[in-house]
C-alpha cells in the first residue's frame, strides 16, 4: 500500500506540473529552436556551428497585437500553417513598403516581415503582408548556445519604408 500511494502521489504531481508547464508555454512564454540562415547574423551566424540557436519567446505581446517596427517575431507561415518562421517586422499596418513594383501599403491587421539575410529569406517579399493573427510571439533573447546568450536588438530598416 505504501509504495502504491507514493507512486500515485508522484504521478498526480507530474500531471499537475505538466499542465502548468503547458499553460505557461502556451499563454505566456516559451523556448524555440531557430533553424536556417534567413536571420543570420542575428541567429545561427556560422555555417560551421552544429547547434541551432534557441530563443526565448515572449507572448504577452499577443494581447491586442502590441508589436513595433524592428521586433523579431515567430509566426505561422501563411502558405503552410504547420511551419513556423522567424523574421523581423519591417512595416506595420498603414505603412508603405518599397518593393520592385514601387510601394505597397500594408493593410489593416497585417505587418510586413523580412529576414535579416535577404539573399536566403522567404518572407513578405515572397508571400506579401502577413496577418497579425499568425504571429505566435516576439523573440527577446538568445538563450542557447551559452557563448551567444544576448538580448535580441530591435533594428528598424528605414530604407525599406516608403514615405
Q: Residue 56 CB: number of other CB atoms within 10 A?
A: 18
Active site residue 121: no
Active site residue 13: no
- CA dihedral for 141, 78, 37, 31, sign (positive or negative): positive
Per annotation, catalytic residue among 37, 46, 59, 87 = 87
Q: Residue 101 CB: number of other CB atoms within 10 A?
A: 6
Coil/strand/helix, residue 108: coil
The closest of 80, 58, 63, 69 to 133, measured between CA atoms, is: 63
Per annotation, catalytic residue among 9, 14, 38, 150 = 38
1-9 long-range contacts, Cβ below 8 Å, gap at least 24? none
Q: How far apart are CA 109 and CA 85, in angstroms?
A: 18
- List residues with catalytic annotation: 38, 87
Amino acid at each position: 500500500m505504501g509504495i502504491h500511494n507514493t507512486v500515485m502521489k508522484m504521478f498526480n504531481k507530474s500531471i499537475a506540473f505538466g499542465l502548468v508547464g503547458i499553460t505557461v508555454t502556451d499563454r505566456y512564454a516559451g523556448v524555440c529552436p531557430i533553424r536556417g540562415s534567413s536571420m543570420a547574423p542575428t541567429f545561427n551566424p556560422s555555417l560551421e556551428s552544429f547547434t541551432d540557436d534557441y530563443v526565448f519567446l515572449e507572448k504577452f505581446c499577443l494581447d491586442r497585437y502590441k508589436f513595433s517596427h524592428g521586433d523579431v517575431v515567430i509566426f505561422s507561415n501563411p502558405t503552410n500553417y504547420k511551419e513556423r518562421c522567424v523574421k523581423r517586422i519591417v512595416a506595420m499596418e498603414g505603412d508603405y513598403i518599397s518593393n520592385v513594383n514601387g510601394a505597397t501599403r500594408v493593410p489593416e491587421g497585417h505587418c510586413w516581415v523580412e529576414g535579416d539575410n535577404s539573399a536566403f529569406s522567404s518572407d513578405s517579399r515572397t508571400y506579401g503582408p502577413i496577418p497579425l493573427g499568425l504571429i505566435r510571439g516576439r523573440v527577446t533573447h538568445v538563450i542557447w548556445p551559452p557563448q551567444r546568450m544576448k538580448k535580441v536588438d530591435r533594428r528598424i530598416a528605414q530604407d525599406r519604408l516608403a514615405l
